[in-house]
Amino acid sequence: MNIPTIVGPTAVGKTGIAMLIAERISGEIVSADSRQIYKHLNIGTAKPTVAQRRKIRFHLVDFIEPDEDYSCGQFARDAEKKIQEILKRDKMPILCGGTGLYIRALFHPLAELPHSNTETKDRLREMLKKHGLDHMYKKLQRIDPAWAERIKPRDKQRIMRGLEVYEIAGKPLSKMMSTRVRGAKFLPYYIGLRLQRDVLYSRINARFEQMLNLGLVKETESLLKKGLDPRSSALRTIGYKEIVAYLQGETGLDEAAEKAKRRTRNYAKRQITWFNKIPGMVWHEADNPGLTDSILRSLKKSKTI
């Protein structure tokens, strides 16, 4: 079965159009966003509002604590389960998001990776504390050069995960991630949303200013006061990371905002590159006044609906 899969760069308007489509085809939305999974991170993740979630049912949003780990494999398993539940209710599942790794994991199932092991994780953390991140990255380069090449030398979370998987399974993470175990239960019908680059960047800048006006600084401060580690995966995401630096006195607010906007624009560029490489992508102009009808026509033509 084909699943309508709405993708594109951040700030292009995926959630809004997914809701309009859901209204027309009796659908429910399965989010494929690696930041919207976190509880308490609302403003900086552009999470659908309470009012929006009352109007259309969303899944895989707001259900993971900010200090918890959550992998692509876990997402794929959870998304499959949600899609099956939606179909049993005679509703149409709509996958919507910009996290390419999540989407690939769902439609190209890989070998299940080992779950985190407290003893192994604690040992690696002690090694990190003693020797530093550069040492850990060099260690990763020796045991899994393919994974080390795919990530950044300062990406602590992915470095530590690569080391942890090797310690537990005795196999490189890159090799395990490339091992197909079965065919996908569902197939995507890709709907790509795009905008002229200058228009998209303008939206990104304006959206971050809106986040500040809505209280992003207070939200971040509240998370820190609750004891969330500023080095946690959640607070190291774009937007929160820069505001944490501001709250810790490392930068001014204006500089933090400009950094967040620039990093978001760079992230959007990477997303565009990722989705451009997907065969069968059907692109739509996100500012087309007839966008909803255009997408519905393509869904009917492909017999997705």
Last residue of a domain, one of 155, 177, 199: 177
Confidence of residue 181 (pLDDT cuts 50, 70, 90): low
Q: What is the pLDDT of residue 180?
A: 62
Based on the domain organization, do 57 and 189 belong to the same domain?
A: yes
For 227-256, the DSSP string reads T--TTSTGGGSTTHHHHHHHHTTSS-HHHH
Based on the domain organization, do 252 and 106 belong to the same domain?
A: yes
Q: Coil, strand or helix: which one is 155?
A: coil
Based on the domain organization, do 273 and 143 belong to the same domain?
A: no
Based on the domain organization, do 237 and 278 belong to the same domain?
A: yes
Q: Count Cβ atoms below 10 Å from residue 51 Cβ, excluding itself.
A: 7
- The runs of H, that is alpha helices, within the chain are 14-25, 50-55, 72-88, 100-107, 118-131, 133-143, 145-150, 156-169, 173-177, 197-214, 216-225, 240-247, 253-276, 291-301
Q: CB-hemisphere CA count at 13 Å for 146?
A: 9
**Number of domains forming the structure of the chain:** 2
Give residue-wise pLDDT tens across range 125-147: 999 999 999 999 999 999 999 99
In the chain, the percentage of residues whose pLDDT exceeds 70 is 98
Sequence-ordered list of residues with C-beta below 8 angstroms from that of 121, at least 6 positions apart, any chain: 160, 164
Based on the domain organization, do 101 and 209 belong to the same domain?
A: yes
Whose structure tokens read 């990371």?
241
| Domain range for 142 | 118-177
CA distance 144 to 149: 9
Give residue-wise pLDDT tens across range 9-62: 999 999 999 999 999 999 999 999 999 999 999 999 999 999 999 999 999 999
Based on the domain organization, do 173 and 25 belong to the same domain?
A: no
Q: What CATH number should be reported for the domain holding residue 131?
A: 1.10.20.140
Give residue-wise pLDDT tens across range 49-67: 999 999 999 999 999 999 8
Token pair, residue 31, equals 């989010």
CA distance 239 to 210: 12
User: Which pTM does this prediction carry?
Assistant: 0.84
Based on the domain organization, do 14 and 101 belong to the same domain?
A: yes
Based on the domain organization, do 99 and 8 belong to the same domain?
A: yes
Q: What is the pLDDT of residue 242?
A: 98
